[in-house]
Amino acid sequence: MKIIHIVSSLDVGGAERFVIDLAAEQLKSNNCSVNVLSMGCQGEPLEKEVKRFGIGLMHATAIGQLKIIFQDFDIVHVHSSYALLRVLLACTFLSTRVIYTRHNERVHTTLKWRMTYKLAQFKLHKMVFVADKARQNYLQVYPEFSRKSCTILNGVLPMVTEKLPSEKVRLAHVGRFVPLKAQHILIEALSLLSADHQESLSVSFYGTGDLMVKNQQLAANLIPNVEVNFKGFVTDRNEIYQQSDVLVVTSETEGLSLAILEALASGTPTIASNVGGNPELIEHEENGFLYPFSSSQELADCIKVLCNDQVTYQKFSQKSLHKFSQFFAMHICADNYNKTYK
């Protein structure tokens, strides 16, 4: 089977990392050849990861180019709404099967998208959702896709579980500095802690984006007693989670968060906003905490518990590893996609 995965770019992001992990797992099959096609610029951060796994890498954007490329593949697997229309048009007269994975929970309803999905009705083999809630929300608007749609939970490759030593409790936030990631909520929550609590913590933000400077200024003003690090792009996930004791997710919306999946795989307890697919990964008070989106006070309360209660911390860590191995290991995800391709 010849598979090509389509992404809008190879900037650091959850969907892009997932595609690389999935392609790497698929390469282990003797009857699979796997490539990744990026519609972004050459030289993007995750290209090195693609090449490190020995995955073929291509770049193209024009429909004519895509049509020529797709002729050589059995499966064209799209992971970006940005790329979907061009892929559908390029595959119109090809026998190639097109799979579309939606990595977020927002439902497009503009005229452009209604026309795109009308074409998708005829050309898509399957539309895959990464969380049941996202599929339910979508089918309320587009019930005609009920037979063509399914849910496949994302997975990640195994990760290092040992933590490097530290005198402080290390919080981590992983994600681009864009409005829906809402990093400012974590900063506001930390400002509600006592000075003693603040001095016992460090927080590291992994990612870049237009709102990074604004968050740097907010941190300087609100939490001068907290050690704050803005790490930028870090492509080595083990480097992130070996230096992180707790993952904090503050997003307004999520599909199935790859950052949380990585935390599960590394045994890192997570505090996450109760949105999107997060409750499918985090069971409140079992392997982490869920709190209402934008509630800085409830987030602060959860942080205090994990800083002070080692029994709860160890319980969350062990149950996170168990949940990963049972449901979110990449070989499980890859097997489910293989069934869907066929």
Chain-centroid distance of CA 86 in Å reads 23
The predicted structure's pLDDT at residue 22: 96
Q: Convert the pLDDT of each residue in 303-332 to its tens digit.
A: 999 988 999 999 999 999 999 999 999 999
Select 2-151's CATH number: 2.170.190.11, 3.40.50.2000, 3.30.300.130, 3.20.20.70: 3.40.50.2000
Check if the beta carbon of residue 112 is closer than 8 Å to that of residue 81: no
| Inter-residue contact 110 to 131 (CB < 8 Å) | no
> Which two three-digit tokens encode residue 82?
């940005």
Q: What is the pLDDT of residue 73?
A: 97
| 4 has pLDDT over 90 | yes
**Pairing label, strands 124-129, 201-206:** unpaired
pLDDT, averaged across the chain? 94
Q: What is the pLDDT of residue 29?
A: 79
- Whole-number Å distance between alpha carbons of 321 and 264: 5
Domain ranges of the chain: 2-151, 169-327
Give the span between the Cα atoms of 341 and 76, in whole angstroms: 10
Kindly report, residue by residue over 107-122, the tens digit of the pLDDT.
999 999 999 999 999 9
Alpha carbon 145 to chain centroid, angstroms: 24
Residue 289: alpha-carbon gap to chain centroid: 19
From the list 145, 120, 122, the residue with the least C-alpha distance to 135 is 145
Q: What is the pLDDT of residue 188?
A: 98
Task: State pLDDT tens for residues 160-180.
Answer: 999 999 999 999 999 999 999
- Whole-number pLDDT of residue 235: 82
Q: What is the pLDDT of residue 326?
A: 94
Q: How would residue 133 be classed by pLDDT, with cut points 50, 70 and 90? A: confident
pTM of the model: 0.86
Residue 146 has pLDDT above 90, yes or no: yes
- Asked whether the predicted pLDDT for residue 74 surpasses 90, the reply is yes
Asked if domains 2-151 and 169-327 share a fold, the reply is yes
Distance CA 251, CA 185 (A): 9
- C-beta of residue 44 within 8 angstroms of C-beta of residue 16: no
What would be the CATH architecture of the domain defined by 169-327?
A: 3-Layer(aba) Sandwich (3.40)
Least confident of 8-12, 191-195, 294-298: 8-12
Tell me, what's the pLDDT at 45?
Answer: 86
Query: CB 232: neighbour CB atoms within 10 A?
Result: 12
pLDDT surpasses 90 at 105? no
What's residue 11's pLDDT? 83
Instruction: Give the per-residue SS3 of 159-224.
Output: CCCCCCCCCCEEEEEECCCCHHHCCHHHHHHHHCCCHHHHHCEEEEEEECCCCHHHHHHHHHHHCC
Residue 12 burial (CB count, 10 A): 21
Per-residue buried b or exposed e for 203-229, using 16+ beta carbons within 10 Å of the residue's own CB: bbbbbbbebbeebeebbeebbebbebe
pLDDT of 12? 72
Mean pLDDT across the stretch 14-24?
Answer: 92
- Say if residues 299 and 186 touch (Cβ distance below 8 Å): yes
Are the beta carbons of 250 and 182 closer than 8 angstroms? Answer: yes
b (16+ CB within 10 A) / e for 250-264: bbebbbbbbbbbbbb
